[in-house]
Chains A and B, each alone.
Chain A
């Protein structure tokens, strides 16, 4: 492994409409290494990557590629220079075939015409190189997101990339797929390709990375070899606060709930064909119910039925003991159910509206359009919640799309807290956000339930579910298989046991 850096970024500075996203950051990448960029949301990881890949041009600083100064104006330009990127959201076109997506823009040709046969053959070979076997002539849309991600990686690999950037590539993959991906990364690194890996999964970072660069608030904290930086120190560097904050996030005290109160929400035989089998679930005031299960086990579908986002076709749902007929997001909101969907970009936030406008959307809707919220009251509320949730940058007039994922999630949370719901449904509120924001959100859930709000909490991270929940509903294969309620059952092992044993018993 040569120590001559392939990429050297020095003094990179980037401003966005008054916000300094990067401030004099240095970054060095050597051939054949896998290098993690670590930091909280809003630390500047994405901005740094986008500067390197030509999406943004830096306001100051320089980039050396193979010792030559470069300046990319577009991703295509960077790609031609040997820098390929795989993003968190799959950036391929679903309407084209797998093979076409792999070779778009550089299809094998016969004269001016695309040679489809050669393209399919090469696509097949390329995918089998990384251990994936697909029908390459099928449209990309017929495959799962995870597979699409692997196709995106295969595409990047084949561009003869000297530098491969993987921005949260594993956030939608399951364990087996992650294993395939990490193996692919290792073999690529061994063949001399330099890789930048961004992930919120610390175990993956420790498993695969040689080195890490830590950013915080747009500035460089430092660069370490992975072996020299234990996990708790890394988290300390990322957060810039004492490590105890995380340890303080103990399992929250369970509620002593009055035994025979009327449940706030009571679902009986609620189900929807193809989404989730009929289930019974009662939710009481001040209770945190965790929904646990593997990806695709029906967690989101369950939440959507309760929130009225999808229509149920069997069973009934009652609120305060009264049955609700036409259950829709509107009636749900009127009865005090707040729903934060999983996909915050497309289903929750309006990117071009400001932080303040996004926050007051639901509140305004519940008042009706004719009764505007007085501006003074509005800015007071917004300021209060920005402060309470520690939203950064604390600028209510910034369009929400300029915020990082964790902060967008907090804006969404604030929106529902403003209408003071009685039941708050959070679908993967901590997905893809950093440890600090995660801690903030977990603390908030605990506080809300202490104040009497019921919370339905969905997370792929089981320890998060066990830490917060009073009861845990376990799902498997689109069926609610058990509700764990004993204090001693609130462990990750118990959930996994339930999923495994109930599954094999059938």
Chain B
């Protein structure tokens, strides 16, 4: 059939589009590099090869939780319950092993399953009863914090449980005196979660539906995508990540503090946003979240090196960064609209 072919080139060049998608994460990486170089220039010992790996030790739990949060935010939701779920999981690990005397090999998987179920339950409430994610997960924030304090209102040590000494055992990469560094197992757990999340988000149907739902839930529904499964799924993943974060915290501190992770949900959200994920959903990368967590860790490190600054400065800077990144996203979105005409 000799018929007219309609050809349209994108109104924005693909090059620009490719680039504009990477501007926020590019800014984050540039910021990281600037902070690192600034640190080396100003402080002796900042070039210690262990410095970067250390970011992934203290922040392993936060990284895992932030990865789960990335799924939720990409789908257009928010999960405020993660800090409490994490503390509850740590406390559950401690109480079940120490007080109830159950073997850790049963307790840890049980806690992870609990995280999945609790997240799926929240997701189901959000989807089927059309409750705003903010409210539904706020309920989780109070519920699990309360339950945690109900189990114990003071620190509970798990130093005596052999199983929990595994997490902080280190693998060495080269000789520490010779430019080498070491990482504990919990960091590898975090890396594994990141890699898995990356693959799921970019290369599976579920991952692409997360983006589609975040782009437009209504459209995703009319395109016949499994919206219910996707929404319940992202909260289940977030719940799992929070519980895993709790287990990692148990490895890291070898104790359960009922007030651990207060405000951690906000740190996780900040890391995700600084990592370039759009708070309205539909755009972002899990690797950006890694960069976001590193920025936050680096800030704390620099303040520690400076020595005479209060640690609250980290919060102040995070606040400013968040504002800057949200504005950057708006500016980019607007220039995109303008180019489209």
Query: Is there a chain A Cβ closer than 8 Å to B159's Cβ?
Result: no
Instruction: Give Cα distance in the complex from A142 to B11, angstroms.
Output: 5
- Between B12, B219, B282, B336, the greatest number of chain A beta carbons within 10 A of the residue's beta carbon is seen for B219
The answer to whether B282 touches A93 (Cβ under 8 A) is yes
Determine the chain A residues whose CB is within 8 A of the CB of B223 once the complex forms.
Answer: 75, 91-93, 101, 104-105, 155
Q: Compute how far the CA of A308 lies from the CA of B328 in the bound complex, rounded to whole angstroms.
A: 27
Contact of A96 among B6, B199, B212 (CB under 8 A): B212
Q: Which residues of A contact B310 (CB under 8 A)?
A: none
CB-CB nearest in chain B for A106? B205
Name the one of A79, A90, A114, A137 contacting B205, with C-beta atoms under 8 angstroms. Answer: A114
Question: Are the C-beta atoms of B14 and A137 separated by less than 8 Å?
Answer: yes
Q: A76-B224, A105-B226 are in contact. Are A113 and B7 (CB under 8 A)?
A: no
**Residues of chain A contacted by B218 (CB below 8 angstroms):** 91
Q: State the CA gap A96–B209 with chains docked (Å).
A: 10
* Given A80-B224, A91-B222, A135-B14: A114 and B215 interface contact (C-beta under 8 Å): no
Chain B 205-228, CB within 8 Å of chain A: the 1/0 string? 100110110111011111111100
Within 8 A of A (CB), among B55-99: none
Output the least CB separation between A364 and chain B (Å). Answer: 27
Question: Does the CB pair A76–B338 fall under 8 Å?
Answer: no
Taken residue by residue from 102 to 121, chain A's Cβ proximity to chain B (1 for < 8 Å, 0 otherwise) reads as: 00110101001110000000
Contact of A107 with B8 at beta-carbon distance under 8 Å, contacts A76-B224, A95-B282, A114-B203 already known:
no
Chain B: minimal CB distance from A87 (Å)? 7
Q: Give the distance in Å from the alpha carbon of A131 to the alpha carbon of B204 in the complex.
A: 30
CB-based contact B10/A138 at 8 Å: yes
* Chain A residues within an 8 Å CB radius of B205: 105, 107, 109, 114
Is B196's beta carbon under 8 Å from chain A?
no
Interface stretch (choices A24-32, A40-48, A174-182, A256-264): A174-182
Please determine whether A93 and B220 come into contact, CB atoms closer than 8 angstroms: yes
Q: Which residues from chain B contact A180 at a C-beta distance below 8 Å?
A: 3-4, 6
**B283 on interface, CB distance cutoff 8 Å:** yes
- Docked-complex contact B6 and A150, CB < 8 angstroms: yes
Chain A residues with Cβ under 8 A from B14's Cβ?
A: 135, 137-138, 142
**Per a CB cutoff under 8 Å, which of B3, B6, B336 touches A141?**
B336
Interchain CB contact under 8 A, B212 and A147: no
Q: How far is the CA of A155 from the CA of B223 in the complex (A)?
A: 9
Q: Is B5 an interface residue (CB 8 A)?
A: yes
* Chain A positions within 8 Å of B215 at CB level: 93-96
A144 at the interface (CB under 8 A from B): yes
A 148-190 binary contact with B (CB < 8 Å = 1; else 0): 0010000100000000000000000000110110010001000
Kindly list chain B residues whose C-beta atoms are within 8 Å of the C-beta of A268: none
Residue pair B5, A132 in contact (C-beta under 8 Å)? yes
Give chain A nearest CB distance to B266 CB in angstroms.
Answer: 25
Contacts of B100 in A (CB 8 A): none
Q: Are A113 and B199 in contact (CB under 8 A)?
A: yes
Q: How far is the CA of A481 from the CA of B217 in the complex (A)?
A: 42
Q: Are A93 and B1 in contact (CB under 8 A)?
A: no
Would you call B211 and A131 a contact (CB within 8 A)? no
Asked whether B47 is an interface residue with its Cβ less than 8 Å from the other chain, the reply is no
* Binary interface encoding of chain B residues 298-341 relative to chain A, with 1 for a CB under 8 A from any of its CBs, else 0: 00000000000000000000000000000000000000101011
Contacts of A96 in B (CB 8 A): 208, 211-212, 215
Q: Which residues of A contact B338 (CB under 8 A)?
A: 274
For residue B221, give the distance in angstroms from its CB to the closest CB of chain A.
7
Q: Is A201 an interface residue (CB 8 A)?
A: no
Please indicate the chain B residues that have their CB under 8 angstroms from the CB of A105 in the complex: 205, 209, 223-226
A180→B215 CA distance, assembly (Å)? 28
Tell me the complex Cα distance, A74–B282, Å.
Answer: 23
Given contacts A96-B208, A96-B211, A139-B17, A131 and B216 within 8 Å (CB-CB): no
CB distance from A79 to the nearest CB of B (A): 4
Q: Return chain B residues, CB-CB under 8 Å to A128.
A: 5
Cβ-defined partner of A76 (8 Å) among B3, B10, B226, B341:
B226
B203 CB contacts on chain A under 8 angstroms: 113-114
Residues of A contacting B209 in the complex (Cβ-Cβ under 8 angstroms):
104-105
Interface string of A81-100 (1 = CB under 8 A from B): 00001010011111110001
Q: How far is the CB of A13 from chain B (nearest CB, A)?
A: 24
Q: Is B9 an interface residue (CB 8 A)?
A: yes
Per-residue interface assignment for chain B, residues 96 to 140, with 1 indicating a CB less than 8 Å from any chain A CB and 0 otherwise: 000000000000000000000000000000000000000000000
Shortest CB-to-CB span from A313 to chain B, Å, is 14
The smallest C-beta distance from A107 to any residue of chain B, in angstroms, reads 6
Return chain A residues, CB-CB under 8 Å to B226. Answer: 76, 105
Which B residue's beta carbon lies closest to that of A53?
Answer: B222
Closest to A181 in B: B6
Residues of B within 8 A of A90 (CB): 219
Contact B340 A75 (CB under 8 A): no
Q: How far is the CB of B223 from chain A (nearest CB, A)?
A: 5
Nearest CB of chain A from residue B155's CB, rounded to whole Å: 43
B208 touches A100 (CB 8 A): yes
- CB within 8 Å of A: which of B8-34? 8-12, 14, 17
In this assembly, does A133 line the interface, its C-beta being within 8 Å of a C-beta of chain B?
Answer: yes
Q: In the complex, which residues of chain A have a beta carbon less than 8 angstroms from the beta carbon of B17?
A: 138-139, 142
**By the criterion CB–CB under 8 Å, are A95 and B10 in contact?**
no
Residues in chain A near residue B221, CB distance under 8 A: 74-76
Alpha-carbon separation in the docked complex, A503 to B55 (Å): 63
Contact of B7 among A76, A112, A133 (CB under 8 A): A133
Which residue of the partner chain A has the closest CB to B11? A142
Query: Which chain B positions have C-beta within 8 A of A176?
Result: 4, 6
CB A209 to nearest CB in B, in angstroms, measures 20
Query: Inside 8 A of B12's CB, which chain A residues have their CB?
Result: 142
Kindly supply a per-residue 1/0 record for chain B positions 39-55, scoring 1 wherever the CB is within 8 Å of any chain A CB and 0 otherwise: 00000000000000000
- Establish whether residues A76 and B208, one from each chain, have CB atoms under 8 Å apart when the complex forms: no
| A307 CB to nearest chain B CB (Å) | 19
**A144-B216 contact given A113-B204, A135-B14, CB 8 Å threshold:** no
Cβ contacts under 8 Å, B11 to chain A? 142-144
A-B contact pairs, 26 of them (CB 8 A): A75-B221, A75-B223, A76-B221, A85-B222, A87-B222, A91-B216, A92-B216, A93-B211, A104-B208, A104-B225, A105-B205, A105-B224, A114-B205, A128-B5, A131-B3, A131-B4, A131-B5, A132-B6, A133-B5, A138-B14, A139-B17, A141-B340, A142-B10, A144-B8, A147-B6, A187-B1
**A interface residue numbers (CB < 8 A to B):** 74-76, 79-80, 85, 87, 90-96, 100-101, 104-105, 107, 109, 112-114, 128, 131-135, 137-139, 141-144, 147, 150, 155, 176-177, 179-180, 183, 187, 274, 296
Add 11 more A-B contacts to A91-B216, A94-B215, A94-B216 (CB < 8 A). Answer: A79-B224, A91-B218, A93-B220, A95-B283, A96-B212, A104-B220, A105-B223, A131-B6, A132-B8, A134-B10, A180-B3
Q: Which residues of B contact A (CB under 8 A)?
A: 1, 3-12, 14, 17, 199, 203-205, 208-209, 211-212, 214-216, 218-226, 282-283, 336, 338, 340-341
Kindly list the 5 A-B residue pairs having the minimum CB-CB distance in the complex, ordered from nearest. Answer: A93-B215, A76-B224, A142-B10, A95-B215, A95-B282
